[in-house]
Amino acid sequence: MQSQHDVCYRQLMSGDLVCRLLVLSNMPYCETLRGIMKKTSITLLGMAVVLALSACQNGVMTTPFGDYGVKSRDGNRVTIGFINKKAPQFGSNTKTVAKAGKPKIVMPKGFQGHWVTTDNSKNSAKACKDDYLSDDAVNLNIDANNNYMSLTFYEEGGDAHWLNMQQISETQVAGTVSYLFQGQGDENPQPETIAVRMTLKNGGKQLAVHNWDEENKTSLYVLCSRTPQVYQ
């Protein structure tokens, strides 16, 4: 079997310039062509990328990871890459979705404020000042104009809003609440819907809340401040 080197050596006598150079440099013909083709393919691929980017507006393509394209030009040298790399945004977070689906509902102004309930009413004043750290303390914050509420326990709780609400009187409302409760270790909380009734008592200084912090039970909250602790 004749080697590529032998073939080229015979072709040298007939004037094949390529083979003559290969024989003189003692380089195998196939390996040399393979190297040439590899370099040519890389060059052509690079040229194709540059041409594709050049066809875009200002040589830049928009991707989910940021703008990708020509970063600089220096004569025949073109540098391409991410111009403003960013994290891809393929969806919305839970709070964004919740805000988008939140209806415009305004509660009577008497419900506005920061409310607290404890098992022993004597501890309510301390709970209002955050001086009472116990599992039985529950904080309810209501932003009456913006349909925002929060119900928080000791290291647990979450945001809430009305899905629908009926104003029975200036001192009583009822409807369905969407409550995004997050317990300890809960990495993927899901909103739950709860039928809730609220009634102002004692001249608006107390608030009776039925079927929220305890199922089928009514809890009596005291008013700490008209300014709610809002964590939106």
10-20 core/surface letters (b: 16 or more CB in 10 A; e: else): ebbeeeeeebb
Q: Are 30 and 122 members of one domain?
A: no
Q: Are 154 and 214 members of one domain?
A: yes
**Residue 108 half-sphere exposure, CB side, CA atoms within 13 Å?**
16
Q: Are 66 and 80 members of one domain?
A: yes
Mean pLDDT by 10 residues, the chain (232 residues): 45 44 44 48 53 54 64 69 52 45 94 96 91 90 97 92 97 98 87 97 98 95 93 54
pLDDT at 60: 66
Q: Is residue 231 a part of any domain in this protein?
A: no
For residue 193, what are the domain limits?
A: 94-225
pLDDT at 46: 56
pLDDT at 82: 60
Cα–Cα distance for residue pair 232/229, rounded to 1 Å: 10
What tokens were used for 213?
A: 């912090």
Q: Are 209 and 115 members of one domain?
A: yes
pLDDT at 89: 42
pLDDT at 30: 40
CATH of the domain at 114: 2.40.128
pLDDT at 221: 98
pLDDT at 185: 83
pLDDT at 64: 53
Q: Are 156 and 131 members of one domain?
A: yes
Q: Are 112 and 206 members of one domain?
A: yes
Q: Long-range CB contacts (< 8 A, 24+ apart) of 208-216?
A: 209/117, 209/140, 212/151, 212/177, 212/179, 213/117, 213/138, 213/140, 213/151, 213/153
H/E segment holding residue 171: none
Q: Are 179 and 219 members of one domain?
A: yes
pLDDT at 198: 98
Number of domains into which the chain is organized: 3
Q: Is residue 232 a part of any domain in this protein?
A: no
Q: Is residue 217 a part of any domain in this protein?
A: yes
Q: Are 64 and 45 members of one domain?
A: no
Q: Are 36 and 85 members of one domain?
A: no
pLDDT at 133: 82
Q: Are 220 and 165 members of one domain?
A: yes
pLDDT at 45: 55
